[in-house]
A and B are shown apart, each in its own frame.
Chain A
């Protein structure tokens, strides 16, 4: 049972008459138009709700850049967003939808916390890599379960990944409230991991080194997707799986591999959240990263190079949303609507753009 067939919106190839620069300009224009229209529509909604849209937008846009703390908060938020967006984007290149980033992140975080608590006395140069590797492996294994169900039994990957999210909630709840519970926390939370498992902090206000890790991973993903054999096979399967199969690419294996790699990145996000931000496992630490990761991946049109930049924009919006709620009184959920609108307008701009080009020809 394969229902995902439509080759997904890979960025338009640059075969058009204008060449590469022309296509890039068109992309940029469509992004600018989509963002502007989303803000206009959302602004109308905010005004109808009886608030001042300009105050709201000022709060959203400036919070991240007004203070060092705001900026570091934004960058810290960017890390899980970019990793979860890549966890969605990499399988998307093969035409597979990974809606399980949340579960993969949580299982990765659980494994990291377990390693950090059980081996708390190890020195930092042993424990920290161990904590990170455990997170990566756990995320990969969790995604592999979904991929195996897809490959072996033909269960739609949207379902197999999404249902495992709910399984992971139970795992986190169990570990945080039964196994290594911190009774003083008043919320399912584990005891802190060992000192050696924490990511080093640099600068002032302090920023954890997971940021560097995320930058490296994002860069490596771009290179692998564009310049390596597995990356080529991945894109070939996504573009036309039958043609890929005819040319000797093992389609099933590529699809499974893409989901496993995606899971590994989501697991890394979990590990970084534990080792860099919280220092422990907390129920609900996944926030709404899954939704945001998917939105980022779709707004970036599955382009791994665009993902970090889009993720930064979304991180700014997210950090600004709570400031907007405080200062302008607009509920922070407004930001989710803005993001959905950006995505919808972006998709529409493709259609409109294609019409305009056709009529001007």
Chain B
């Protein structure tokens, strides 16, 4: 396998957490709930996914439980911000702390402090017959783990949901103009709560992917800012699933590039290379935001009894 193919293969592998976490941010945000707990929910997903997989001996059950846990946090965010109209950022930050604390706590309770942590098997590659034989495209796109296909399917599914169904139209209207949506009989609170729950589940899945792909175990700091970058990606992608999917290639590319250059021994101190994804993100955001648009009610709670529309 040549250099280009293996590089692209790594990029696609690295895209998954970005895709899932950013699509989770997007789906909640399109309904008006701005979740800022990504980083914590990814830690929780990584920890829970690892621990459950280890205990029950299967990665699928780990993914499911991690997703449910993240969904519960997302549901809570949606519930308190609609039912009680508490500040979305404050609750999001509180959930971030709770999830981050819980992630480390659960790991310590189940595993304890050991020099040699137990490992879970990483996800197997699933070659798709026929398609994987195509030169270049085959190995890059069709010799990947099931989660890669899942991430692409989720993106496609969300695109279809948002733009091709009646539910999607209602969902988007809740994020753009909840008053109008409410007057037409759309249940604003319920839409927001379930979108937020789905978003939380996707973020936790993004976290659970990390131990199952890279390390085989949970380590503190393994999320390494991917959660915050996912927020950047949601903005960068204009809160639209198709652009988020494309944008995740850029974020993953930066990550793999930084790793490659460090290993390749370029004459730049590796510390500066490690800044690359974050600096590049800021630089891109400087220009991307000129055209990016965001849901009008993003981060704002809806009070149906308020006299003003804002």
| A residues lining the B interface (CB < 8 Å) | 1, 3-6, 8-9, 49, 97, 149, 153-156, 158-160, 162-167, 169-171, 173-174, 177-178, 291, 294-295, 298, 331, 333-337, 339-341, 343-344, 347-348, 351
Would A341 and B98 be within 8 Å (CB), given that A159-B232, A159-B235, A167-B279 are in contact? yes
Contact call B100/A6, Cβ cutoff below 8 A: no
Contact call B274/A340, Cβ cutoff below 8 A: no
Give the residues in chain B near A341, CB-CB below 8 Å. 98
Q: Compute how far the CA of A8 lies from the CA of B88 in the bound complex, rounded to whole angstroms.
A: 10
Contact call A159/B98, Cβ cutoff below 8 A: no
B101 within 8 A of A: yes
Q: Compute how far the CA of A348 lies from the CA of B84 in the bound complex, rounded to whole angstroms.
A: 8
Contact call B235/A166, Cβ cutoff below 8 A: no
21 A-B pairs whose Cβ atoms sit less than 8 Å apart in the complex: A1-B235, A3-B34, A4-B299, A6-B88, A8-B90, A149-B286, A153-B286, A158-B89, A158-B231, A159-B285, A163-B232, A163-B278, A163-B282, A164-B282, A174-B272, A291-B100, A298-B90, A331-B108, A336-B97, A340-B94, A347-B94
Contact call A337/B101, Cβ cutoff below 8 A: yes
Can you list, as one digit per residue, whether each of B285-309 has a CB less than 8 Å from chain A (1) or not (0)?
1110100101000111100000000
Q: Compute how far the CA of A335 lies from the CA of B100 in the bound complex, rounded to whole angstroms.
A: 12
Closest to B231 in A: A159
Closest to A177 in B: B271
Would A156 and B235 be within 8 Å (CB), given that A97-B89, A149-B286, A341-B98 are in contact? yes
Closest to B274 in A: A170
- Known A-B contacts: A153-B286, A170-B274. Give 20 more (CB < 8 A): A3-B294, A9-B90, A149-B286, A155-B282, A171-B271, A171-B275, A174-B269, A174-B272, A178-B269, A295-B97, A333-B104, A334-B101, A337-B98, A340-B97, A340-B98, A344-B98, A347-B86, A347-B87, A347-B91, A348-B84
Q: Compute how far the CA of A156 lies from the CA of B289 in the bound complex, rounded to whole angstroms.
A: 10
Residue of A159, A164, A165 with highest tally of chain B CB at under 10 A: A159
Q: Say which residue of A170, A178, A344 sits within 8 Å of B275 (CB atoms).
A: A170
Give the residues in chain B near A344, CB-CB below 8 Å. 91, 94, 98
Give the residues in chain A near B228, CB-CB below 8 Å. 159, 162-163
Would A337 and B286 be within 8 Å (CB), given that A170-B271, A344-B94 are in contact? no
Give the residues in chain A near B115, CB-CB below 8 Å. none
Sorted nearest first, the 6 A-B pairs with minimum C-beta distance are A336-B101, A340-B98, A174-B271, A331-B108, A333-B105, A170-B275
Closest to B281 in A: A163
Contact call B292/A1, Cβ cutoff below 8 A: yes
Contact call B275/A1, Cβ cutoff below 8 A: no
B118 within 8 A of A: no
Q: Say which residue of B84, B86, B224, B299 sits within 8 Å of A3 (CB atoms).
A: B299
Q: Compute how far the CA of A167 lies from the CA of B36 in the bound complex, rounded to whole angstroms.
A: 20
Measured as residues with beta carbon below 8 angstroms from the partner, the interface class of chain B is 35 or more
Give the residues in chain A near B285, CB-CB below 8 Å. 149, 153, 155, 159-160
Q: Compute how far the CA of A4 lies from the CA of B98 in the bound complex, rounded to whole angstroms.
A: 22
Q: Compute how far the CA of A156 lies from the CA of B292 in the bound complex, rounded to whole angstroms.
A: 13
Contact call A163/B225, Cβ cutoff below 8 A: yes
B109 within 8 A of A: yes
Q: Compute how far the CA of A164 lies from the CA of B225 in the bound complex, rounded to whole angstroms.
A: 11
Contact call A170/B272, Cβ cutoff below 8 A: yes
Q: Compute how far the CA of A217 lies from the CA of B162 in the bound complex, rounded to whole angstroms.
A: 51
B93 within 8 A of A: yes
| B residues lining the A interface (CB < 8 Å) | 34, 36, 80, 84, 86-91, 93-95, 97-98, 100-102, 104-105, 108-109, 224-225, 228-229, 231-232, 235, 269, 271-272, 274-275, 277-279, 281-282, 285-287, 289, 292, 294, 298-301
Give the residues in chain B near A336, CB-CB below 8 Å. 97-98, 100-101, 104-105
Closest to A5 in B: B300
Shortest CB distance B242–A (Å): 20
Contact call B84/A5, Cβ cutoff below 8 A: no
Give the residues in chain B near A6, CB-CB below 8 Å. 87-89, 299-301
Contact call B90/A155, Cβ cutoff below 8 A: no
Closest to B310 in A: A5
Closest to A7 in B: B87
Give the residues in chain A near B277, CB-CB below 8 Å. 166
Contact call B278/A167, Cβ cutoff below 8 A: yes
Closest to B224 in A: A166
Closest to A350 in B: B86
Q: Compute how far the CA of A106 lies from the CA of B179 in the bound complex, rounded to whole angstroms.
A: 45
Give the residues in chain B near A348, CB-CB below 8 Å. 80, 84
Q: Compute how far the CA of A149 lies from the CA of B231 in the bound complex, rounded to whole angstroms.
A: 16
Give the residues in chain B near A347, CB-CB below 8 Å. 80, 86-87, 90-91, 94
Contact call A3/B298, Cβ cutoff below 8 A: yes
Shortest CB distance A113–B (Å): 16
Q: Compute how far the CA of A264 lies from the CA of B282 in the bound complex, rounded to whole angstroms.
A: 22
Contact call B108/A333, Cβ cutoff below 8 A: yes
Would A351 and B86 be within 8 Å (CB), given that A163-B225, A170-B272 are in contact? yes
Shortest CB distance A73–B (Å): 22
Give the residues in chain A near B105, CB-CB below 8 Å. 331, 333-334, 336-337
Give the residues in chain A near B292, CB-CB below 8 Å. 1
Q: Say which residue of B93, B102, B231, B275 sits within 8 Å of A294 (CB atoms).
A: B93
Q: Compute how far the CA of A160 lies from the CA of B285 in the bound complex, rounded to whole angstroms.
A: 9
Shortest CB distance A53–B (Å): 15
Closest to A173 in B: B271
Give the residues in chain A near B90, CB-CB below 8 Å. 8-9, 298, 343, 347
Q: Compute how far the CA of A3 lies from the CA of B36 in the bound complex, rounded to whole angstroms.
A: 12
Q: Compute how far the CA of A9 lies from the CA of B89 in the bound complex, rounded to whole angstroms.
A: 11
Q: Say which residue of B93, B269, B289 sits within 8 Å of A298 (CB atoms).
A: B93
Shortest CB distance B272–A (Å): 6
Q: Compute how far the CA of A181 lies from the CA of B113 in the bound complex, rounded to whole angstroms.
A: 30
Residue of B89, B225, B277 with highest tally of chain A CB at under 10 A: B89
Q: Compute how far the CA of A274 lies from the CA of B272 in the bound complex, rounded to whole angstroms.
A: 23
Give the residues in chain A near B281, CB-CB below 8 Å. 163
Shortest CB distance A52–B (Å): 15
Give the residues in chain B near A298, CB-CB below 8 Å. 90, 93-94
Shortest CB distance B248–A (Å): 16
Give the residues in chain B near A337, CB-CB below 8 Å. 98, 101-102, 105
